[in-house]
Amino acid sequence: MWLERRVVPDEDREQWTWTPLEAVGPLRFGQTVEEVAAVLQEPISGRDSREQWVPFSSRGVDTYYRSEDWTPAAVAIDACRGPQISFGEVRLVGRLPSELTPWLEAGADTHEGRLRFGLNGEAGLPGLGLVMRCQQNGDFNRTRPVMVAPEWADTSVDSWEGPLPSREWLVY
């Protein structure tokens, strides 16, 4: 049996908007790790240089950084308790994957024309810098979006040769 955590209802989550390839809520690609910590009002409690990863666990946010300058290149949101991320009218966090399938398929026609699937079977829209990961919760998967900076967008869906650290692909 997989660990099952309570899924925080949308109305009880922070509400963030996503600007593809630029920002996830108050986080901007290009900030320093210290600026990210200040915006999230949470100290840096862990930092894995090997995986270019800094978790902000109390916020349900994982951040991944470029190795050369430690500026954010990806933001992943915990499916059960992270902020709700909206893109227009679409809520991206904590949903059953099948609920977002029609939107992802339509996005392939609307946003840069590509819907890609990685080796793990998870969908992505490279033109938007989105990887729609899944996070196991009990008997269900819930959506755990990973939004990436422009320089990571084209290959971010690929767990084999893409830039997302292996931690993101192995933990969830």
**Average pLDDT for residues 158-172, to the nearest whole number?**
86
For 136-155, what is each residue's pLDDT tens digit? Answer: 888 889 999 999 999 999 99
* Residue 105 tokens, joined: 């398929």
Instruction: Render pLDDT for 47-97 as a digit per residue (tens, 0 to 9).
Output: 777 889 999 999 999 999 998 899 999 999 999 999 999 999 999 999 999
pTM over 0.75, yes/no: yes
Under a CB-based contact definition with an 8 Å cutoff, are residues 112 and 126 in contact?
Answer: yes
pLDDT at 172: 65
Three-state DSSP class for 34? helix
φ and ψ at residue 145, rounded to 5 degrees:
-70, 145
Which one is predicted more confidently, 158 or 86?
86
